[in-house]
């Protein structure tokens, strides 16, 4: 990995790119394109966690605290960028972690579960024995003791089809998506419009401190994010 200079004004962003390239054996090439799209929206947010995002993080905290079988669904980008952050969240929330991929191969699933094992998490995903109804892609494959039986699913960097399918299964879906206009953002019950490595530590902290938010309107929150972006561009 080629480390960017720490005094670079966009050090964290450049480091994220290097992490994705370093993990190119388990990160799909399409994931690199998706990451670039997310970066563009992060520019609009000022590369910082806005107040509406803090509200949605607190709402996600409440959902995870009362969940009976929470699951954190991870793909290649999430593991490459935030494996340690996912591990900490799994520890404080009691959530299981499951690898779920659109571009699924046995090699990628095994590689990603090994990377999660390196940070102390026995991730599900290798022995997928269940299907998410309404999906024809490889993302339909899941584990019955993971996503299949989850009541709350956290889906960072998700695609809209699976988010909608999980909602249709009656699961409460928490999404992390930098694009407030995406199908995922619009479909999830709680959408955190923030960068994954910024918001996961905050979510873990809120869970430890039990700083939840019981009353939450996702549509209003997304509108507040768009207003925040608009105000930044006008200033």
Q: How many domains does the chain have?
A: 1
Q: Determine, yes or no, domain membership for 15.
A: no
Q: Determine, yes or no, domain membership for 90.
A: yes
C-alpha–C-alpha distance, residues 140 and 62, integer Å: 27
Q: Determine, yes or no, domain membership for 13.
A: no
Write the CA distances from 194 to 39, 125, 163, 226, integer angstroms.
Answer: 10, 26, 17, 13
Q: Phi and psi (nearest 5°) for 124?
A: -80, 165
Nearest to 223 by CA among 189, 193, 199, 184: 193
Determine the structural domain holding residue 150 and report its residue range.
51-234
Q: Which pLDDT score is estimated for 122?
A: 98
Q: Determine, yes or no, domain membership for 30.
A: no
Going residue by residue through the chain, which has 235 residues, state the pLDDT in tens, using 9 for 90 and above: 777 788 887 778 888 888 888 878 888 778 788 888 889 999 999 999 999 999 999 999 999 999 999 999 999 999 999 999 999 999 999 999 999 998 899 999 999 999 999 999 999 999 999 999 999 888 899 999 999 999 999 999 877 889 999 999 999 999 999 999 999 999 999 999 999 999 999 999 999 999 999 899 999 999 999 999 999 999 8
Q: Determine, yes or no, domain membership for 3.
A: no
* CATH label of the domain that carries residue 107: 3.40.50.12640
Q: Which pLDDT score is estimated for 30?
A: 83
Q: Determine, yes or no, domain membership for 38.
A: no
Q: Which pLDDT score is estimated for 144?
A: 98
* Model confidence, pTM: 0.94
- The answer to whether residues 213 and 58 touch, using CB atoms and an 8 Å cutoff, is yes
- Number of Cβ atoms within 10 Å of the Cβ of 186: 18
Q: Which pLDDT score is estimated for 100?
A: 95
- Number of Cβ atoms within 10 Å of the Cβ of 61: 26
The torsion of the CA quartet 185, 89, 139, 163, rounded to 10 degrees, works out to -20
C-alpha–C-alpha distance, residues 139 and 229, integer Å: 32
Q: Which pLDDT score is estimated for 103?
A: 87
Residue 174 CA, chain-centre distance (Å), reads 8
Q: Determine, yes or no, domain membership for 39.
A: no
Q: Determine, yes or no, domain membership for 151.
A: yes
Q: Which pLDDT score is estimated for 210?
A: 95
Could you report the per-residue pLDDT of 98-154, keeping only the tens digit for each? Answer: 999 988 999 999 999 999 999 999 999 999 999 999 998 888 999 999 999 999 999
Concatenate the DSSP letters of all residues of the chain into one string. --PPPTTSTTHHHHHHHHHHHHTTTTS-HHHHHHHHHHHHHHHHTTSS--HHHHHHHHHHHHHHHH-SSEEEEE-HHHHHHHHHHHHHHHHHH--EEEE--SS--HHHHHHHHHHHHHTT---B-TT--EE-TT--SGGGEE-TTTGGG-SEEEEET--HHHHHHHHHTT-EEEEE-S-TTSHHHHHSSEEE-S-HHHHHHHHHHHHHHT---S---HHHHHHHHHHHHHHHHH-
Q: What is the 3-state secondary structure (H, E, C) of 128-157?
A: CCEECCCCCCHHHEECCCCHHHCCEEEEEC
Structure tokens at 101: 């991929």
């Amino acid at each position: 990995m080629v480390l960017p200079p720490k005094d670079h004004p966009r050090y964290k962003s450049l480091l994220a790119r290097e992490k994705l390239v370093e993990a190119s054996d388990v990160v799909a090439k399409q994931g690199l394109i998706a990451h670039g799209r997310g970066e563009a929206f992060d520019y609009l947010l000022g590369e910082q966690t806005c107040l509406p995002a803090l509200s949605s993080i607190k709402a996600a905290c409440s959902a995870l605290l009362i969940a009976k079988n929470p699951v954190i669904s991870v793909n290649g980008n999430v593991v490459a960028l935030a494996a340690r952050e996912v591990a900490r969240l799994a520890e404080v929330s009691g959530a299981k972690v499951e690898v779920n991929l659109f571009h699924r191969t046995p090699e990628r699933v095994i590689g990603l579960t090994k990377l999660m094992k390196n940070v102390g998490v026995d991730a599900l995903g290798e022995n997928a024995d269940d299907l998410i109804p309404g999906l024809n892609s490889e993302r339909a494959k899941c584990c019955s003791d993971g996503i299949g039986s989850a009541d709350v699913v956290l889906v960072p960097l998700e695609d809209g089809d699976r988010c909608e399918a999980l909602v249709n299964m009656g699961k409460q879906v928490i999404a992390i998506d930098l694009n407030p206009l995406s199908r995922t953002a619009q479909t999830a019950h709680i959408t955190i419009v923030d960068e994954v490595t910024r918001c996961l530590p905050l979510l873990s902290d809120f869970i430890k401190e039990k700083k939840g938010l019981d009353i939450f309107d996702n549509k209003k929150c997304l509108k507040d994010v768009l207003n925040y972006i608009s105000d930044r561009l006008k200033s």
